Amino acid sequence: MTALAVPDARADDPFGINAFREEGGSDNAVVLDEVTKRYGRGTLALDGIDLRVRRGEFVCFVGASGCGKSTLLNIVSGLDKATSGRVSVAGRPALMFQEHALMPWLSSLDNVALPMRLAGVPKAQRLERAHELLASVHLGDVVDKRPHELSGGMRQRVALARTLATESQVLLMDEPFGALDAMTRDLLHDELESVWRARGLTVLFVTHNVREAVRLADRVVLLSSRPGRVVQEYPIELARPRRFDDPAVGSATGQITTALRKEVARHGD
């Protein structure tokens, strides 16, 4: 049975942020105990995932395509249910995808304010907060622009601001920068790291880019090819801020990439 429950929104908690709580007041933001996911009687996507993510920790997941990374985020978010095992989340998580999914007829400001509008936050309050969030990702000068008037990187920054508007302390990110060029991605890494540290967020981040994972993470989790299992966990104890071309980042990237290649080859065999 999953430990997730249906959010119970209240006037002082319009997003249901306090609806999910891990038992015992643990320092862990996310706990997965023997989580397995099977689709019908067929594909076994995840097999016995055990994981603890501390509050305020930034964890990246890497693995071959189809290893269950996105499935894992969907289960943590509550969009999908585990077949068996236990999932506990401290607060209601927010999920950000690779596709920005902004409403094309809304301005940047109104896109960011939308989650608050749906939650019943008064107009003046939600617009003030939306201005603050856009400023936090350095987009205070595009509040009136619609998505088609923005670059790909700017659209993703609006999407990040909109995700933050939920006030969730657990942020789930499914390859959010995968479609961007290298320079834009690097700039967005800086933005994300700044917001993460300022707000004390817990981040679970899926990527196919091992160097990106090392650049961002406190810990990198390598998943096996299907069915997804935790093969190895790599603490990244490098000083921040980090850069893609840092020799230490390159060294850690090489170590994890070697293990990933072995896993992909094993799956191929």
pLDDT digits (tens, 9 = 90+) for 146-193: 999 998 888 988 998 898 888 899 999 998 887 788 888 888 888 889
Q: Grade residue 123 by pLDDT with cuts at 50, 70 and 90.
A: very high
Angle between helices 108-118 and 152-164 (to 10 degrees): 20
> Parallel, antiparallel, or unpaired for β 84-89 and 202-206?
unpaired
The model's pTM? 0.84
| Strand partners of residue 94 | 171
| Residue keyed to tokens 């990246």 | 60
pLDDT digits (tens, 9 = 90+) for 69-82: 889 999 999 999 99
C-alpha to C-alpha distance for 188 and 159, rounded to whole angstroms: 12
